[in-house]
Amino acid sequence: MSANVSGQKTLFVVGVGPGDPELITVKAINTVIKSDYIFYPDVCGGKNKTAYDIIKSALKFAGLQDIGENRLIPLQVEMKRSTGKNKDLYRENALKIYEKLKNESVSCVSYVTLGDPAFYSTYFGIHAALKEIGKEIEHKNFAININIINGVSSFLYSFGLLEEPYIAKNASVLISVPLKKSLDELKAEIKFIADKSGISRPQIIVFMKAGSCVKNILEAFKEALGDGYGENENGKIKLYLIEKSEVVEDFTKKTDLDFDYFSILIGVFL
């Protein structure tokens, strides 16, 4: 592709949806196809390259048999098992993107990420690092235009799996990430949304990236609701856990409550 004459280069931040290759948007596919390079998150110490797999599948679905591996560049990030390296990794990743865009033959690149890049995304650490680098490096006639391509968010996809129209008129939704939150903080969030259930129903609380926190979240529900906790006719709450795009049946009865990092726990006040 020819270089942008004005020196304006573009980084597309592309949401590829919740994990189903068929839920990637046409705009996302078209953006990736026209990009000179495609960066994707590669989880340190694991085999999680879901965004990479979705892109490969989606491009074949779109009729493009393959894309050169030299155009696909992994960027390491830490997720569940964090050792505090992410700040340095974000800067390293931002520099890799910057170096590719400096090339005269490159006009645009993409960074692909699961779900929606504007919603709890790995991208924003890189975004902050790019801003820092921009202040440090003076390069005449060079600028990076950042364009976000939205994707289907995992929590919206999850509500479709429940087969109940819980998000309806007058419903309130509280979205939380429970990682590193104390039991008191979780209880306060649950109580905040539970108190609205007397006004109009249903009311919903959604815990994103809940996999390693399921035990604490369930304990917070029990303490916050007291006698109202339970899924029987006297209970106030219906609980769902979505793991790897499937509803986990009877998850509260399992002895092992450590689920996938990206699991979503949803509480619906009936």
For the chain, report the end-to-end CA distance as a whole number of angstroms: 55
What pLDDT score was predicted for residue 1? 38
Find the range with the poorest average confidence among 37-46, 90-99, 251-260.
Answer: 37-46
In whole numbers, what is the pLDDT of the chain averaged over residues?
84
- Structure confidence by residue, pLDDT tens digits, 132-170: 887 776 655 667 889 999 999 988 899 989 888 888 777
Is position 201 within any domain?
yes
> Comparing 183 with 81, which gets the higher pLDDT?
183
- Structure confidence by residue, pLDDT tens digits, 119-128: 888 888 899 8
Is position 129 within any domain?
yes
Boundary of a domain, candidates 152, 170, 195: 152
- Structure confidence by residue, pLDDT tens digits, 200-229: 678 899 999 999 999 999 999 999 887 656
Helix axes 26-34, 50-61, angle to 10 degrees: 90
Whether pLDDT at 2 is above 60: no
What pLDDT score was predicted for residue 149? 95
What pLDDT score was predicted for residue 220? 95
* Look-up of token digits 């650490």: 125
Residues 137 and 184 both lie in one domain: no
Q: What percent of the chain has pLDDT over 70?
A: 85
Q: What is the CA radius of gyration of the chain?
A: 21
Find the range with the poorest average confidence among 17-31, 141-155, 188-202.
Answer: 188-202
Is position 1 within any domain?
no
Boundary of a domain, candidates 108, 126, 152: 152
CATH number for the domain including 253? Answer: 3.30.950
Is position 2 within any domain?
no
Residues 92 and 140 both lie in one domain: yes
Boundary of a domain, candidates 96, 128, 152: 152
Whether pLDDT at 114 is above 70: yes
CATH number for the domain including 105? Answer: 3.40.1010.10
What pLDDT score was predicted for residue 234? 42
- Structure confidence by residue, pLDDT tens digits, 221-249: 999 887 656 654 445 788 999 998 889 99
Domain count across the chain: 2
Residues 122 and 252 both lie in one domain: no
- Structure confidence by residue, pLDDT tens digits, 56-69: 888 887 777 667 77
Whether pLDDT at 86 is above 90: no
Residues 167 and 110 both lie in one domain: no
Residues 85 and 160 both lie in one domain: no
Domain that residue 113 falls in:
8-152
What pLDDT score was predicted for residue 44? 67
Mean pLDDT within 91-113:
92
Cα–Cα distance for residue pair 136/18, rounded to 1 Å: 35
What pLDDT score was predicted for residue 84? 66
Q: How confident is the model at residue 4 (pLDDT cuts 50, 70, 90)?
A: very low
Residues 79 and 24 both lie in one domain: yes
